Amino acid sequence: MRRIEILAGIMGVLSLTYGQGATAQVRNTVCDTISYEFIEEKIIIPVTVNGVKAKYIVDTGGKTGTLYDAATEMKASAAGYMSVTDVNTQAANFQEAYIKDLTIGSNYRVKQLKTMVFPKNSFFTSLDVVGILGGDAFAESVVTFDSRTQIMVINYPYRPERLKVTDGIPLLTDAEYHSFIHVQLGETQLRVLFDTGADGFLLYSTEDNNQLAAVSGSQVTNRAHGIVAAGISGLGTPVDIKKVTIPSIKIAGKEFANVGSTTTMMNGSIIGVELLKHGKVIIDYMRKRFYFFPFDEGKTDLGGAPSLWNISILPHNGRFEITTVWDSMKDQVTFGDEVVNINGASLQDCPKSQIAVEKIMNDIPGNSGYIIIRRDNKDKRIEIKKEK
């Protein structure tokens, strides 16, 4: 089951307010190369905070956040509260704290950085990370992502050699350290967030789809009702979902054709980490420029609407429930039905996490399988399939 949205709800958090907590303290000129792990579609790097070694997810679309236990070990100091919204547009308040002496690579150092403080999170634990590093952590640098060698390069204060300002496109200045840019969507421009914390290529907001359907030439290929991901405030309210194919999106001059996506209830649309499969990305936070250098010239066809299972399952109410129902299944299952077995795999002892249930779905061979739902203490087998 391909994730339609941002896994675990912490990734891709969009701040309603954004603190000015980053002050870089760098030794002379910096050009550090950091090898990263790429696990569950997440970029993971090692860092040191106040002498404590840890791993963080690099999330260019979010604000830095740290698990409570790790923040305590790092001797973080309280800094108030902030409000954020999650993938389901639900708001939540988080305590903020200051962490000190953050070191990324050998020489890039942030003297003090404000971080949200997260409660325990099974997704972070499963990845052996303590939180996310947002754009605020890189405010005084130029960051290069190169998926071919799985490295990040941090430059300060200069740009990488031979990189020209005219090669890039502007970061939208009203977003502080979030990497918002304009892309060409059909006959118009679309404001998007480049978010390494978000899975997939395009997460298309319902509002953008409704407003731009005519000029974008997008086609609806399927419909559903449900919840597309767990958020920081829970599962949220079920909504209508559309699966769409957009004929053309151009990013810094590179054209992507047949871009498939599902609509989301987020505040805006997102270009996710899958962009890195197609080219090198450089974000110059200091000069507010965004660069994309494609690996291949010419148009890239992304194959249209994604092939997804025609139901989605998430942990809810202490069990696993059907949380999204596509049109082909609306007469067979109901939102909230308990699922006790997936294609022969019992869920009785399965950890109550999105990753765990998705792994079971991903392990189903081919494009068809079955689930067993339990209603009124009676079990019923339901056939499921992948569809565009």
User: What type of residue is 178?
Assistant: H
Instruction: Give which of 292, 229, 263 is closest to 11, Cα–Cα.
Output: 229
Look at residue 29 and tell me if it is in a domain.
yes
Q: What is the pLDDT of residue 34?
A: 97
Q: Same structural domain for residues 242 and 116?
A: no
Q: What is the pLDDT of residue 186?
A: 86
Q: Same structural domain for residues 59 and 190?
A: no
Domain with 335 in it: 308-387
- Domain stop point among 123, 156, 189: 156
Per-residue pLDDT band for 173 (boundaries 50, 70, 90) equals: confident
Q: What is the pLDDT of residue 231?
A: 56
Q: What is the pTM of this model?
A: 0.88
| Mean pLDDT of the 339-353 span | 95
- Domain stop point among 93, 124, 156: 156
Q: Classify 216 in phi/psi space as left (phi over 0), alpha (psi -120 to 50) or beta.
A: alpha
**What are the Cα distances from residue 274, in Å, to 35, 164, 165, 259, 271?**
18, 25, 24, 12, 8
> Residue 210 in 3-state DSSP?
helix
- Is the pLDDT reported for residue 29 higher than 70? yes
Q: Same structural domain for residues 195 and 102?
A: no
The Cα–Cα gap between 80 and 85 comes to 17
Q: Same structural domain for residues 28 and 118?
A: yes
- Domain stop point among 280, 304, 328: 304
- Is the pLDDT reported for residue 14 higher than 60? no
Look at residue 236 and tell me if it is in a domain.
yes
Q: Classify 149 in phi/psi space as left (phi over 0), alpha (psi -120 to 50) or beta.
A: alpha
pLDDT higher at 181 or 230:
181
What CATH code is carried by the domain that includes residue 202?
Answer: 2.40.70.10
Q: What is the pLDDT of residue 187?
A: 85
For 60-71, the pLDDT digits (tens) are 998 899 999 999
Look at residue 7 and tell me if it is in a domain.
no
For 175-187, the pLDDT digits (tens) are 678 899 999 998 8
- Is the pLDDT reported for residue 86 higher than 80? no
Give the DSSP H/E element, type plus range, for residue 211: helix 206-216
| Mean pLDDT of the 148-159 span | 94
Per-residue pLDDT band for 85 (boundaries 50, 70, 90) equals: low
Q: Same structural domain for residues 319 and 223?
A: no
Q: What is the pLDDT of residue 41?
A: 93
Q: Same structural domain for residues 25 and 150?
A: yes
Please give the tally of structural domains in the chain. 3
Q: Same structural domain for residues 172 and 149?
A: no
For 279-333, the pLDDT digits (tens) are 999 999 999 999 999 999 999 999 999 899 999 999 988 999 999 999 999 999 9
The Cα–Cα gap between 230 and 235 comes to 5
What CATH code is carried by the domain that includes residue 332?
Answer: 2.30.42.10
Look at residue 234 and tell me if it is in a domain.
yes
**pLDDT more than 70, % of the chain:** 88
336 Cβ partners below 8 Å, 6+ apart?
316, 321, 322, 323
> Residue 280 in 3-state DSSP?
strand
Q: What is the pLDDT of residue 88?
A: 53
Q: Same structural domain for residues 106 and 75?
A: yes
pLDDT higher at 62 or 77:
77
Q: Same structural domain for residues 130 and 169?
A: no
For 88-107, the pLDDT digits (tens) are 555 677 899 999 999 999 88
Per-residue pLDDT band for 235 (boundaries 50, 70, 90) equals: low
Q: Same structural domain for residues 188 and 300?
A: yes
- Is the pLDDT reported for residue 5 higher than 70? no
Q: What is the pLDDT of residue 206?
A: 93
- Is the pLDDT reported for residue 131 higher than 90? yes
Look at residue 277 and tell me if it is in a domain.
no
Q: What is the pLDDT of residue 321?
A: 95
Q: In whole numbers, what is the pLDDT of the chain averaged over residues?
A: 88
pLDDT higher at 320 or 165:
320
Give the DSSP H/E element, type plus range, for residue 256: strand 254-264
Q: What is the pLDDT of residue 59?
A: 95
| Mean pLDDT of the 39-62 span | 96
Instruction: Give which of 262, 263, 247, 366 is closest to 302, Cα–Cα.
Output: 247
